[in-house]
């Protein structure tokens, strides 16, 4: 009798069961912070696969260490920087905006708008023909918000975008695939490097202002890496393995002016919307002392041909290292997955030498209290 009298009424059991069922049906990505990605091949995760362009990473050995061991359009042997950030913030990887899978609840995860070959300027990467330059990436962001509004309503869509984390990676191609692409390029005839960089910064400022206008409120802005030290540039410009002084000078001029511009924007907005990431400093650490980070080389690409494996594209016919974790560079231009993990670790926990005004862990902690 005692046992039967303490049993919950059937109606209560059904109520508890239905609550569990309702909780189980809430998709986890609906609760996670959305993540949006803009930029070039360092962060493209497959948009160019849907375009008629030579700037693609859709054939082996790209993706050799990706979970599926298949090429995905990422310019990496495995995961790229946005993938690893998604892992660290507890979110699913973002889908390319052009992916037909980006529908329904997956819109709440965010989207990746990046396209290999593009730069700050619209004439950067013209040799790749059909790529998504920044005005179109921003237009796609606007269209994404329309689709999200249709799914969850205007107010909820605005909230998702305002609370999202945004990553933008631009600038490197404006040097290697524009100013320095060929001798006497149009931009090098128009500008000296000390004049070209303020022009780039002023154009970048307009892009960031548009992102803010479209609702972005937490934006990680990466500087350029050590442009003169990538295997492609060593193969073309180096005699004894030294980095290209001219490209290193360009990066050294660009990055401080970028930080200055971000500070100015944040002052105008009265908030730390834009967070600068010193990716040149991060990569210089393992370029200058590769063995301290577990690499055998920071000069030779894992996949490629010619001096430093820095000539041409990474293809099935290229030299391929057996252990990608021992190489700082995967191909002539792009870091290996292991190097990407080191970069993201510094994005998460780096001091103000690398992250200004704060690192991503601090951002996550601050924003969780809002």
Q: Is-catalytic flag, 334?
A: yes
In whole angstroms, what is the distance from residue 362 CA to residue 65 CA?
A: 31
The catalytically annotated residue of 44, 83, 272, 331 is 331
CA–CA dist 356, 220 (Å, integer): 10
- Of 236, 349, 339, residue with least CA distance to 297: 339
Could you tell me which of 334, 328, 332, 337 has the C-alpha nearest to residue 296?
Answer: 328
| Tally of CA atoms within 13 A in the half-sphere of 244 that contains its CB | 20
355 to 36, 108, 247, 329: CA distances (angstroms): 19, 27, 23, 23
Q: Is 16 buried (19+), middle (13-18) or exposed (0-12) by CB count in 10 A?
A: exposed
Catalytic residue among 86, 99, 244, 334: 334
Q: How far apart are CA 136 and CA 309, in angstroms?
A: 34
The CA-based angle 273-163-204, given to 5 degrees, is 35
Closest CA to 58 of 42, 67, 43, 45: 45
Measured over the CA atoms of residue 296, residue 301, residue 302 and residue 307, the dihedral's sign is negative
| C-alpha distance from residue 201 to each of 171, 174, 261, 313 (Å) | 9, 11, 7, 30
Q: Which position among 40, 41, 133, 244 bears the catalytic label?
A: 41
Q: Are 104 and 28 in contact (CB under 8 A)?
A: no
As annotated, the active-site residues are 41, 331, 334
């Amino acid at each position: 009798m005692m046992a039967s009298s303490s049993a919950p009424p059937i109606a209560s059991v059904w109520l508890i069961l239905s609550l569990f069922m309702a909780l189980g049906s809430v998709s986890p990505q609906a609760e996670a912070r959305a993540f949006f990605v803009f930029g070039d091949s360092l962060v493209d995760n497959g948009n160019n696969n849907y375009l008629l362009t030579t700037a693609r990473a859709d054939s082996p050995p790209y993706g050799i260490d990706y979970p599926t061991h298949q090429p995905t359009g990422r310019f990496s042997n495995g995961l790229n920087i946005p993938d690893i950030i998604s892992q660290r913030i507890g979110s699913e990887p973002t889908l390319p905006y052009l992916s037909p899978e980006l529908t329904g609840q997956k819109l709440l995860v965010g989207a990746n708008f990046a396209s290999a070959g593009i730069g700050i300027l619209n004439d950067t990467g013209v040799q790749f023909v059909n790529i998504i330059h920044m005005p179109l990436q921003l237009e796609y962001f606007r269209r994404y918000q329309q689709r999200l509004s249709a799914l969850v309503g205007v107010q909820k869509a605005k909230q998702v975008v305002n609370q999202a984390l945004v990553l933008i990676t631009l600038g490197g191609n404006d040097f290697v695939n524009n100013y320095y692409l060929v001798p006497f390029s149009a931009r090098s005839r128009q500008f000296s490097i000390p004049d070209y960089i303020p022009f780039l910064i002023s154009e970048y400022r307009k892009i960031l202002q548009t992102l803010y206008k479209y609702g972005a409120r937490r934006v990680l802005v990466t500087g350029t890496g050590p442009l003169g030290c990538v295997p492609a540039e060593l193969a073309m410009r180096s005699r004894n393995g030294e980095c290209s002084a001219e490209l290193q000078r360009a990066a050294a001029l660009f990055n401080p002016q970028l930080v200055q511009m971000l500070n100015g924007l944040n002052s105008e907005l009265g908030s730390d919307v834009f967070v600068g990431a010193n990716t040149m400093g991060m990569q210089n650490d393992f370029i200058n002392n590769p063995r301290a980070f577990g690499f055998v080389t920071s000069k030779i690409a894992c996949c490629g041909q010619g001096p430093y494996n820095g000539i041409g594209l990474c293809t099935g016919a290229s030299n391929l290292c057996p252990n990608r974790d021992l190489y700082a560079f995967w191909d002539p231009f792009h870091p290996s997955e292991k190097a990407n993990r080191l970069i993201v670790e510094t994005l998460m926990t780096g001091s103000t030498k690398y992250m200004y005004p704060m690192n991503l862990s601090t951002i996550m902690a601050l924003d969780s209290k809002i």
